[in-house]
């Protein structure tokens, strides 16, 4: 209810009231109420700062800090007006002054100066510096955090909504620390203003008391010293609370629990530290003149805490031993079916060295959960069903090594050291770690200790945890071997699912015109060229039309590609334009003359020397292109496309090859950025 009231205009009205407080005189009783409200407000902010789990949970703090500072300054002005005009500023200020002075002006002045020094020199200066450094480091780390979010999104570990949420959180964190950097200057200015107002109240009060109120020098000194110190304390105490709140917010890191619980758990994690501290306390108690009972009580409390830590550790060890024993019993009771499942060759498998099997055990590893997310991502991108991934340990692998197998054959491997994260980027020379080359993108990086991840962030690197490294590698391998992973059973399931929404396309095609095995070969051929088969209904309709005249696999593949032409071209378009590399017309004509059908597949038959010259010409043309633009594609006549692909694939890695029809059917504008000409290639007869 209070939050609803605040959201409906109480805060704006309060700010207006504070401004009026600087101008309009107020009676002493009202000043007492406002002073108490100020102290309670500062205490509430301090406690809130202690109980939040992360700084962004209290994102309104910079604005509240400004309002609280303005409120205190308004109270300073109001109290100064009453002190100088009436020699009285309410009961709260008088009570603070009497308690602090305690019959001695010197004691009161010293106490106030100590509070001012603590606030200005220690708390305020420290909070200001931490806020400044935090703002700079947060801004420097933004690119690395954004790249990490993009990497998780590309690996299928997070959804688009989660990526947007994380990007918004990164931007909010940067804005928050920038605001805190500016807001800390208000705390510093408030401390200086408090000292200046103190001097004005004391000196001006004595002069006014003697000249306007007819007080003696002793009476003026006693009256205005009490009021001045009391006024200073009632504003200095909440100012100190706000300064401590500022320091606590800017030094707080994201945590799973509030400050008190996290501090208690972490301070009590080491039994040896507790025992040594207890022994030190007991030893200091034996020094002559020391209060032995006080040290004995402290030592006993620490020893009791150490015993509780030991009991908890023994209980955790016993639980782990029971779990290991249960696993041993289950392993001993393996059934023949389990052994046969172990013998079976799995379509996809991740083998882990024994020292990194924790990645597949849940908890921090979370590898199996991420594999599930990857299967969904692959289904959306390729339209194919990614087979289940078997995860097992392999004692033959080197330490900290994983291997990814496709149909029992190793397709890639890498290392994921325990207690480390992978930092990719530049500027890592100053960080200790093991240099490595990323197996997917070929980027240079370092495996650094987990506790150095923040330093790597600040250096502008992209920090990737071990599970993400494996999942990214697995995703790349799945995309590269999708045509091998597509089984006949997968095609049957896809066909049955399509039949529910488009029965006519399925009934027209199979089994009347084409058996399911031929459809599987066509779909695998599309996946081999990184063409998504998501639009399965359109593919089946195109196959049904072409199968009436030809059942050759190359002809069926081209019919399917023609139906998917706009989607294929859209993958390589940027801003509605395609960057294409084409053959010189004379050269293309000579290649058409060399086109032959070899075992039912089109091939361009050239001499060995001519083939090498043609490939070199393509590589040279592509290599001269500006890498900053969209991915270039090689275009040729429709009848040449499969022959050119058979010739180029494996030689010019990853070069997409489209026919003229596919490049034009999507309505994209084309920019010819390169031409393979006759002077680059001298075609000879085979």
pLDDT band at 666 (very low <50, low <70, confident <90, very high): confident
Q: How far apart are CA 70 and CA 78, in angstroms?
A: 12
pLDDT tens profile 525-540: 999 888 999 999 999 9
pLDDT band at 314 (very low <50, low <70, confident <90, very high): low
pLDDT band at 165 (very low <50, low <70, confident <90, very high): confident
Asked if 511 and 546 count as a contact pair (C-beta separation under 8 A), the reply is no
pLDDT band at 9 (very low <50, low <70, confident <90, very high): low
Residue 441 burial (CB < 10 Å; 0-12/13-18/19+)? exposed
**Which of residues 419 and 233 earns the better pLDDT score?**
419
Lowest mean pLDDT among 72-76, 120-124, 344-348: 120-124
Is residue 126 predicted with pLDDT exceeding 70?
Answer: no
Q: How far apart are CA 418 and CA 416, in angstroms?
A: 7
Q: How far apart are CA 473 and CA 312, in angstroms?
A: 39
Q: Please compute the mean of the pLDDT values over residues 320-325 and round it to a whole number.
A: 66
Q: Please compute the mean of the pLDDT values over residues 218-243 and round it to a whole number.
A: 72
Q: How far apart are CA 474 and CA 485, in angstroms?
A: 13
Query: What tokens appear for 633 in the block?
Result: 């594609």
Short-list 231, 220, 161, 167, CA closest to 198: 231
Q: What own/partner pairs with CB < 8 Å and gap ≥ 24 does 426-434 have?
A: 426/460, 426/461, 427/459, 427/460, 427/461, 428/456, 428/459, 428/461, 430/459, 431/455, 431/456, 431/459
**Which of residues 251 and 555 earns the better pLDDT score?**
555
Segment (H or E) for 436: strand 434-437
Asked if 407 and 508 count as a contact pair (C-beta separation under 8 A), the reply is no
Name the fold adopted by 343-483. Answer: Glutaredoxin (3.40.30)
Is residue 522 predicted with pLDDT exceeding 90?
Answer: yes
- The pTM assigned to this predicted structure is 0.54
Q: How far apart are CA 502 and CA 494, in angstroms?
A: 12
Q: How far apart are CA 686 and CA 677, in angstroms?
A: 20
Note the pLDDT of residue 207: 72
Asked if 513 and 550 count as a contact pair (C-beta separation under 8 A), the reply is no
Mean pLDDT of the chain: 77
The length of the chain, given as a count of residues: 686
Note the pLDDT of residue 136: 66
**Which of residues 395 and 340 earns the better pLDDT score?**
395
Query: What tokens appear for 548 in the block?
Result: 């009436």
**Which of residues 654 and 513 earns the better pLDDT score?**
513
Angle in degrees, 0-180, between the axes of helices 536-547 and 553-563, rounded to the nearest 10: 130
Is residue 116 predicted with pLDDT exceeding 60?
Answer: yes
pLDDT tens profile 422-480: 888 776 777 888 888 887 777 788 888 888 887 787 777 888 888 888 998 999 999 88
Asked if 107 and 224 count as a contact pair (C-beta separation under 8 A), the reply is no
Note the pLDDT of residue 464: 87
**Which of residues 122 and 636 earns the better pLDDT score?**
636
Note the pLDDT of residue 681: 45
- CATH superfamily name and code, 489-563: FHIPEP family, domain 3 (1.10.8.540)
Query: What tokens appear for 422 in the block?
Result: 């992978």
Residue 492 burial (CB < 10 Å; 0-12/13-18/19+)? middle
Task: Map out the domains of the chain as residue ranges.
Answer: 2-122+188-263, 268-314, 343-483, 489-563, 568-676
**What is the SS3 string spanning 10-53?**
HHHHHHHHHHHHCCCCCCHHHHHHHHHHHHHHHHHHHHHHHHCC
- Dihedrals phi, psi of 432, to nearest 5 degrees: -75, 140
**Which of residues 186 and 648 earns the better pLDDT score?**
648
Asked if 414 and 402 count as a contact pair (C-beta separation under 8 A), the reply is yes
Is residue 337 predicted with pLDDT exceeding 70?
Answer: no
**Which of residues 27 and 122 earns the better pLDDT score?**
27
pLDDT band at 1 (very low <50, low <70, confident <90, very high): very low
Note the pLDDT of residue 57: 73
Q: How far apart are CA 54 and CA 326, in angstroms?
A: 40
Proportion of the chain above pLDDT 70, given as a percent: 71
Is residue 146 predicted with pLDDT exceeding 60?
Answer: yes
Note the pLDDT of residue 560: 92
**Which of residues 56 and 573 earns the better pLDDT score?**
573
Residue 533 sits at the vertex; the CA angle it makes with 527 and 535, to the nearest 5 degrees, is: 165
Mean pLDDT is highest, among 387-401, 435-449, 605-619, for 387-401
Q: Please tell me the chain's helix, strand, coil percentages from 3-state DSSP, rounded to the nearest 5.
A: 65, 10, 25
Mean pLDDT is highest, among 91-95, 121-125, 308-312, 316-320, for 91-95
The CATH class for the domain spanning 568-676 reads alpha beta
Lowest mean pLDDT among 77-86, 134-143, 495-504: 134-143
pLDDT tens profile 231-272: 777 777 777 777 777 767 766 655 555 555 655 566 666 677
Please report, to the nearest 10 degrees, the dihedral formed by the alpha carbons of residues 626, 627, 629, 635 taken in order.
Answer: 80
């Amino acid at each position: 209810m209070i939050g609803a009231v605040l959201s409906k205009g109480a805060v704006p009205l309060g700010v207006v009231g504070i401004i009026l407080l600087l101008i309009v005189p107020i009676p002493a009783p009202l000043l007492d109420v406002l002073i108490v409200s100020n102290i309670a407000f500062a205490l509430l902010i301090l406690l809130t700062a202690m109980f939040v789990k992360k700084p962004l949970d209290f994102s309104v703090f910079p604005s509240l800090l400004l309002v609280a500072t303005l409120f205190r300054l308004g109270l300073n002005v109001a109290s100064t007006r009453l002190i100088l005009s009436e020699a009285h500023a309410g009961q709260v200020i008088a009570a603070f002054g009497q308690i602090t002075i305690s019959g001695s002006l010197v004691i009161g002045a010293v106490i106030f100066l100590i509070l001012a020094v603590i606030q200005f020199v220690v708390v305020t200066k420290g909070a200001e510096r931490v806020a400044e450094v935090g703002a700079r480091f947060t801004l420097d780390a933004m690119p690395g955090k954004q790249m990490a979010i993009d990497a998780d999104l590309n690996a299928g570990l997070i959804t688009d909504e989660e990526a947007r949420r994380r990007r918004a959180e990164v931007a909010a964190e940067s804005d928050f620390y920038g605001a805190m950097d500016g807001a800390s200057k208000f705390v510093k200015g408030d401390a200086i203003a408090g000292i200046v107002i103190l001097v004005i109240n004391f000196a001006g009060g004595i002069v006014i008391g003697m000249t306007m109120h007819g007080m003696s020098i002793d009476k003026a000194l006693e009256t205005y010293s009490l009021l001045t110190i009391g006024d200073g304390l009632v504003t200095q105490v909440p100012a100190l609370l706000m300064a401590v709140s500022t320091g606590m917010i800017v030094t707080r890191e994201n945590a799973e629990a509030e400050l008190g619980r996290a501090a208690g758990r972490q301070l009590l994690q080491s039994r040896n530290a507790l025992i040594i501290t207890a022994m030190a306390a007991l030893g200091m108690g034996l020094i002559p003149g020391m209060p032995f009972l006080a040290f004995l009580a402290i030592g006993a409390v620490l020893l009791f805490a150490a015993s509780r830590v030991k009991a908890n550790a023994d209980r955790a060890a016993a639980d782990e031993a029971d779990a290991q024993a249960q696993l041993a019993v289950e392993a001993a009771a393996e059934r023949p079916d389990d052994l046969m499942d172990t013998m079976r060759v799995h379509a996809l498998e991740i083998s882990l060295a024994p020292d990194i099997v924790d990645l597949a055990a849940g908890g921090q590893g979370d590898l199996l959960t991420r594999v599930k997310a990857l299967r969904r991502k692959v289904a959306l991108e390729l339209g194919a069903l990614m087979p289940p991934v078997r995860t097992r340990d392999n004692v033959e692998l080197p330490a900290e090594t994983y291997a990814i197998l496709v149909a029992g054959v190793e397709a890639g491997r890498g290392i994921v050291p325990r207690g480390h994260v992978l930092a990719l980027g530049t500027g890592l020379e100053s960080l200790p770690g093991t240099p490595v080359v990323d197996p997917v993108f070929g980027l240079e990086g370092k495996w650094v200790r987990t506790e150095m991840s923040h330093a790597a962030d600040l250096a502008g690197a992209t920090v990737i945890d071990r599970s993400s490294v494996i999942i990214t590698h697995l995703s790349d391998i799945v995309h590269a071997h999708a045509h091998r992973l597509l089984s006949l059973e997968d095609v049957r399931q896809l066909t049955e699912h399509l039949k529910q929404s488009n029965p006519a396309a399925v009934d027209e095609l199979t089994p009347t015109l084409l058996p399911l095995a031929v459809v599987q070969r066509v779909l695998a051929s599309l996946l081999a060229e990184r063409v998504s088969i998501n639009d399965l209904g359109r593919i089946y309709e195109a196959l049904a039309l072409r199968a009436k005249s030809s059942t050759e696999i190359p002809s069926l593949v081209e019919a399917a590609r023609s139906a998917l032409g706009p989607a294929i071209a859209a993958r390589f378009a940027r801003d509605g334009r395609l960057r294409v590399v084409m053959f010189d017309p004379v050269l293309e004509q000579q290649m058409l003359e060399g086109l032959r059908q070899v075992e039912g597949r089109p091939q361009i038959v050239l001499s060995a020397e001519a083939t090498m010259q043609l490939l070199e010409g393509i590589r040279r043309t592509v290599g001269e292109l500006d890498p900053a633009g969209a991915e270039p594609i090689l275009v040729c006549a429709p009848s040449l496309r499969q022959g050119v692909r058979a010739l180029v694939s494996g030689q010019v890695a990853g070069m997409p090859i489209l026919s003229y029809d596919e490049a034009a059917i999507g309505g994209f504008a084309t920019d010819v950025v390169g031409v393979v000409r006759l002077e680059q290639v001298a075609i000879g007869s085979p």
